[in-house]
A and B are shown apart, each in its own frame.
Chain A
Amino acid sequence: MPVDTSAKGKTFPSHEYEVGKEKIREYAEAVGEDNPVYFEREAAHAAGFRDVPAPPVFAVVYSRGALVQALFDPEVGIDFSMLVHGGQEFVWGETVCVGDTITTTIEVKDIYEKGGMGFYVFESVSSNQEGQEVVRGTWSNIVRGG
């Protein structure tokens, strides 16, 4: 089945996420972090953070609201039963801390077909309430059988 590339370049409404201390704790515990800066405000301050920081890959949590818009968009047309997460890149900027409001936008960067599979590349850009970029994500999804 040929891959429909018409959604290439499509953008979606931005998504806001407010970062909470207990959500960072829940995430940090799940991925096995043990650095006290993720759990105790005093430890975070002592290490020079504004507040409890988010572990780097917590980016998946605050980006998710934007990401799912592209993943589930009928025009993008991803067949979920055949979806594989092929690759991921994050480039970090300003550190995300408790109390930040992170705004994420997502764009369909590329759609192409290779070896009978469909490749869907999304790029997300997340910024904090001061307008500083906190992370840029490249999400590479592969749909088997195109």
Chain B
Amino acid sequence: MDQGESIPELKVTPDRYLPHRYAGASGDFNPIHIDKEFATDVGLPSNILHGLYSMAQVARANVAAAGGDPRSLRRLSVQFRGMGLPEQEILVTGTVAEVDGDRVVVDTRAEQGGKPIIKNAQAELSSPGAPASGAPDGA
């Protein structure tokens, strides 16, 4: 990957029941994510996506950009902005900000309908061929 290069876009549309499945998978049952009535009562437009679900989409886009090996992703920091909604497409885009030997830094963002839901995300990837930390000893 070269500096200034865009990473392949990731597009995903979480369905209406995704927040419920993610709640079960993650253990986060905050009602703002799974109860539309509760969410609208506290002033939200609808039940909203878990921020960490959206972060997982940013992670997926970066792992895919690195060739698909999850061991490539060394660090990921994100800032959550606005709110993600079910049944709307999430678009993850990124640009290579820095290349330093084995280390590649990708500036990434996630948006829905042009509005950011994750901004200032920075992923640090190890370039293909770097030692894989999960490999068995002696492999």
Contacts and interface: CB of A to CB of B under 8 A. Distances in A.
Interface string A1-41: 00000000000000000000001001101111101010000
Interface stretch (A87-95, A103-111, A114-122): A87-95
Contacts of A31: 22, 25, 53, 56-57, 60
B135 A55 contact: no
B115 interface: no
Nearest to A27: B25
Contacts of B75: 89-92
Given A30-B22, A30-B53, 18 more contacts: A27-B25, A30-B21, A30-B25, A31-B25, A35-B68, A50-B134, A53-B134, A56-B59, A56-B70, A57-B55, A64-B27, A86-B80, A87-B79, A88-B52, A91-B74, A94-B133, A95-B71, A138-B77
A78 to B, nearest CB: 13
Interface of B: 12, 18, 21-22, 24-28, 42, 51-53, 55-57, 59-60, 63, 68-71, 73-80, 132-136, 139
A30 B12 CA distance: 12
10 interchain residue pairs of minimum CB distance: A95-B134, A89-B77, A30-B25, A31-B56, A57-B56, A48-B135, A27-B25, A87-B79, A85-B51, A91-B75
Interface of A: 23, 26-27, 29-33, 35, 37, 47-50, 53, 55-57, 60-61, 64, 81, 84-95, 97, 138
Given A31-B53, A33-B60, A85 B25 contact: no
A85 B52 contact: yes
For B12, B25, B42, B73, the residue with the greatest tally of chain A CB atoms inside 10 Å of its CB is: B25
Contact of B76 (A27, A33, A56, A84): A56
A85 B80 contact: yes
Contacts of A95: 70-71, 132-134
